[in-house]
């Protein structure tokens, strides 16, 4: 029996692909497509709004059905609203929204007391493996190797560094017993030398780059690099749908994309 899903941010980059791929699958039934209040396409068929055949579901600003899971790719502030809606209606929440601050993280942790919550800064299987492998590489190489993270995205991305880079940095910090104070965001000083304990994070914003993340490990006389390159958004969409299907019916707590993948 198909899984009933609601999609927030339905006309955004991820929302459009979620609608397209979910409607092609027999595993999912889109019962709600949600956008912000005052959106220019409110009341328009969700399929037609994203340049696809009619879906039979119009864009709305509020949820008036009870799906098996809500998939959120909206904004940090909108996420707080949808988390409240999910709590009130006992709906599992899968979100890939990035750029979250401490307040938004607290909202998700509080929601997880009542419902199943999964927040993934990246829903790609390859990125999950990158996180695991890069952490292990840092342990094996030890403190003599400098670590730098470089991430690239399209010119319209609002948050920097990306949520994926931030998650990757946390994994590297944990693996090397470092603290967030060791993170260095870009370099623009004329006199400060690189500290051996630091991990650099650098953000590039250009053109239509979907997403590239590279970790550099550099020692004396050699350098290792490990990268993930996204060539289209469908890998994230399929990962999100896989995660949402896995999350449906789970007991209340916070989950990770690693839980979904079993790694």
Q: What is the number of alpha carbons within 13 Å of residue 243 lying toward its C-beta? A: 33
**Catalytic: which of 153, 202, 213, 228?**
153
Is 216 catalytic? The answer is: no
DSSP 83-142: HHHHHHHT--EEE------HHHHHHHHHHTTTSEEEE-S---HHHHHHHHHHHHHHHHH-
- Residue 76 vs residues 69, 81, 172, 203: alpha-carbon distances, Å: 19, 9, 25, 20
**Catalytic: which of 41, 81, 157, 250?**
157
Helices 76-89 and 102-111: crossing angle in degrees, nearest 10, is: 10
Is 156 catalytic? The answer is: no
CB-based contacts of 16, cutoff 8 Å, min separation 6: 10, 50, 51
Strands 222-230 and 211-219, by their bridges, are antiparallel
Which residue numbers are catalytic? 153, 157
């Amino acid at each position: 029996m198909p899984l009933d899903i609601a999609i927030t941010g339905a006309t955004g980059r991820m929302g459009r692909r979620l609608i397209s791929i979910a409607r092609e699958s027999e595993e999912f039934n889109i019962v709600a497509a949600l956008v912000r209040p005052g959106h220019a396409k409110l009341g328009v068929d969700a399929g037609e709004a994203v340049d696809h055949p009619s879906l039979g579901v119009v864009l709305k600003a509020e949820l008036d059905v009870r799906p098996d899971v809500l998939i959120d790719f909206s904004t940090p502030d909108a996420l707080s609203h949808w988390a409240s809606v999910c709590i009130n209606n006992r709906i599992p929440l899968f979100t890939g929204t990035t750029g979250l601050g401490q307040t938004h993280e607290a909202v998700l942790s509080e929601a997880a007391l009542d419902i199943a919550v999964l927040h993934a800064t990246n829903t790609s299987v390859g990125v999950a493996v990158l996180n695991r492998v890069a952490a292990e590489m840092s342990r094996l190489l030890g403190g003599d190797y400098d670590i730098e993270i470089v991430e690239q995205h399209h010119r319209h991305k609002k948050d920097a560094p990306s949520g994926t880079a931030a998650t990757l940095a946390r994994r590297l910090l944990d693996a090397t017993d470092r603290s967030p104070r060791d993170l260095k965001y870009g370099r623009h000083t004329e006199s400060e030398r690189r500290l051996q304990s630091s991990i650099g994070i650098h953000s590039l914003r250009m053109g239509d780059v979907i997403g590239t993340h590279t970790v550099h490990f550099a020692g004396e006389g050699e350098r290792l690099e490990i990268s993930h390159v996204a060539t289209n958004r469908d890998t994230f969409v399929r990962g999100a749908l896989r995660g949402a299907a896995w999350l449906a019916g789970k007991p209340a707590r916070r989950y990770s994309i690693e839980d979904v993948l079993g790694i």
